[in-house]
Amino acid sequence: MVAEWQIDEQLVRRFQGGDQRAFEDFVKRHQDRIFRLCATFVRPEVDPADACQEVFVRAYTGLPRFRFRAKPFTWLYGTAKNVCRELNRKVKSVSLGSGDLPELAAHPQFMETDLTFVRRLVSELPERQRDVVILRIFEDLSVAETAKALGIRAGTVKAHLHKALRNLMVTLKKLGIEESDYD
């Protein structure tokens, strides 16, 4: 069975060989995940679809020079974070919560409470813990897949996850969500 990252590498190699269709397949494979990441990271004034589009435009220009030192999704994930950071910087009018993440208000485009909830949670976490929680818990990647996506060891993923869970409990208490509310 071919692993997810191996399919990505094959697509990128085909694209580097001039196969336009491979790039389209690559976009289709990752567009939902990258869109959700962008929706989590951008401020409410920024359209996550614009951010997502910019990520793939950069992929189009960057992947021909990709050297496979990391997994293609790791590279894409890093690009998504950079793009969101740049777009957030452009709309400085709104004050920030912690780091460069948006305040607790829900994104106007997504009234789903779950997305707001995710945004609330990750805004309180340090960057690496945030990455692990998003990929491992919210994107439902395995520990090994998360490790490969972030370019770190599986043990490091577990350690970050453990710390993140402790911090999340504290955050949930701050937000006024008690254990009884989970069920």
Partner 1 sequence: MTSKDSEQFVQQLVNLSDGYRRTRAPEDMLSRVLRNVPQRSSSGLGLPVFAGLAATVFAALVFVYNQSSVQGRSPQKYPSFSMIKMPSRSEIKVPSTVSVPISPPSVPVLPRKPKPVEKSQTKKQILNYFVDLKERYDEINNS
Quote the DSSP letter at residue 138.
I
Site string for partner 1, 9-28 (x = CB under 8 A): ------xxxxxx---x--xx
Element (H, E) at 106: none
What does the buried/exposed string (b/e) look like for 151-164 if buried means 16 or more CB atoms within 10 Å of the residue's CB? ebeeebbeebbeeb
Query: For partner 1, which stretch binds (CB under 8 A), given 1-9, 95-103, 143-151, 165-173?
Result: 165-173
Q: How far is residue 166 from each of residues 40, 133, 147, 160, measured CA to CA in Å?
A: 21, 12, 20, 10
Quote the DSSP letter at residue 135.
I
What phi and psi values does residue 44 have, to the nearest 5 degrees? Answer: -60, -25
**Does 112 interact with partner 1 (rule: CB under 8 A)?**
yes
CA 151 to chain centre: 14
Q: How far is the CB of 165 from partner 1 (least distance, A)?
A: 6
**Does 60 interact with partner 1 (rule: CB under 8 A)?**
yes
**Does 35 interact with partner 1 (rule: CB under 8 A)?**
yes
End-to-end Cα, the chain, rounded Å: 37
**Does 169 interact with partner 1 (rule: CB under 8 A)?**
yes
Query: For partner 1, which stretch binds (CB under 8 A), given 2-10, 82-90, 94-102, 158-166?
Result: 158-166
**Does 168 interact with partner 1 (rule: CB under 8 A)?**
yes
Query: For partner 1, which stretch binds (CB under 8 A), given 3-11, 82-90, 98-106, 107-115?
Result: 107-115
Q: How far is the CB of 50 from partner 1 (least distance, A)?
A: 9
Residue 84 and residue 42 in contact, taking contact as beta carbons nearer than 8 Å: yes
**Does 140 interact with partner 1 (rule: CB under 8 A)?**
yes
**Does 86 interact with partner 1 (rule: CB under 8 A)?**
no
In Å, the largest CA–CA distance within the chain is 55
Interface residues toward partner 1, by CB under 8 A: 15-20, 24, 27-28, 31-32, 34-36, 39, 49, 52-53, 56-57, 60-61, 110, 112-115, 117-118, 121, 137-140, 162, 165-166, 168-169, 182-183
